[in-house]
């Protein structure tokens, strides 16, 4: 797979299918990027698990820290790596010992290890490198436009203002992909409830 660019449908498929996300390198410090990403994804309904051995005994937005992937008591759909590229290979090795295997390994902005990615892919795991799921979710749902950022989303209707626990459709029409009006249907369904 070409990891220099990703089709919107590939990213969309991942974000729509995963439910449980283990974030390695999550920080309880509220000015750290991992804190923002963790909180954002938790608010969108993902079952978030913070992993940081130095923070065990503490919580991040109500979720208890664990020391490692082995300490998680349920299957993991996605591992989000907030560590430097040099730490990726050992994380992939640990991930490959899990049963069941995670569906996705996601490496944050600036994090890339092509050899480790190839190893994970050889085991049927999808890989994303040098991307942030928070940014991709906001871009694909058009939620990012509420912050005044050009999301490359084309629509005559603005996405609904995000609220606590609200999960927006990731199928908004964008310059690079998407071909449905599911976001409009989801918005209408939310209004009807």
Task: Classify each residue of 54-84 as buried b or exposed e, where b means 16 or more C-beta atoms within 10 Å of its C-beta.
Answer: ebeeeebeebebbeebeebeeebbbbbbbbe
Residue 2 maps to a domain: no
pTM of the complete model: 0.77
Is residue 88 domain-shared with residue 13, that is, in the same domain?
Answer: yes
**pLDDT attached to residue 170:** 66
**pLDDT attached to residue 182:** 42
Is residue 143 domain-shared with residue 75, that is, in the same domain?
Answer: no
CB 153 within 8 A of CB 173: yes
Local confidence pLDDT in tens for the 193 residues of the chain: 899 999 999 999 999 999 999 999 999 999 999 999 999 999 999 999 999 999 999 999 999 999 999 999 999 999 999 999 999 999 999 999 999 999 999 999 999 999 999 999 999 999 999 999 999 998 888 776 555 444 455 555 555 555 555 555 666 554 444 433 444 444 444 445 5
Is residue 187 domain-shared with residue 163, that is, in the same domain?
Answer: yes
CB 142 within 8 A of CB 135: no
Residue 119 domain boundaries? 8-132
Is residue 120 domain-shared with residue 164, that is, in the same domain?
Answer: no
Residue 81 maps to a domain: yes
Tokens of 150: 């050009």
Is residue 183 domain-shared with residue 120, that is, in the same domain?
Answer: no
Is residue 61 domain-shared with residue 143, that is, in the same domain?
Answer: no
Is residue 127 domain-shared with residue 138, that is, in the same domain?
Answer: no
**pLDDT attached to residue 157:** 58
CB 1 within 8 A of CB 121: yes
CATH number for the domain including 128?
3.40.50.720
* Domains in the chain, number: 2
**pLDDT attached to residue 86:** 97
Residue 3 maps to a domain: no
């Amino acid at each position: 797979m070409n990891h220099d660019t990703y089709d919107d449908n590939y990213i969309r498929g991942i974000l729509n299918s995963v439910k449980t996300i283990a974030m390695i390198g999550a920080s309880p410090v509220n000015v750290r990027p991992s804190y923002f990403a963790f909180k954002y994804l938790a608010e969108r309904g993902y079952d978030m698990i913070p992993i940081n051995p130095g923070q065990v005994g503490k919580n991040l937005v109500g979720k208890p820290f664990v020391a490692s992937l082995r300490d998680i008591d349920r299957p993991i759909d996605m591992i989000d790596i907030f560590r430097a590229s040099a730490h990726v290979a050992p994380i992939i090795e640990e991930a490959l010992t899990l049963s069941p295997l995670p569906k996705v390994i996601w490496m944050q902005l600036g994090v890339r290890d092509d050899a480790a990615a190839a190893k994970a892919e050889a085991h049927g795991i999808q890989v994303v490198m040098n991307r942030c799921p928070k940014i991709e979710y906001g871009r694909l749902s058009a939620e990012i436009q509420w912050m005044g950022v050009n999301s490359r989303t084309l629509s005559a209707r603005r996405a609904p203002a995000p609220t606590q626990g609200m999960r927006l459709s990731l199928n908004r029409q964008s310059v690079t992909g998407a071909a449905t009006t599911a976001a409009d249907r989801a918005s209408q369904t939310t209004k009807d409830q």
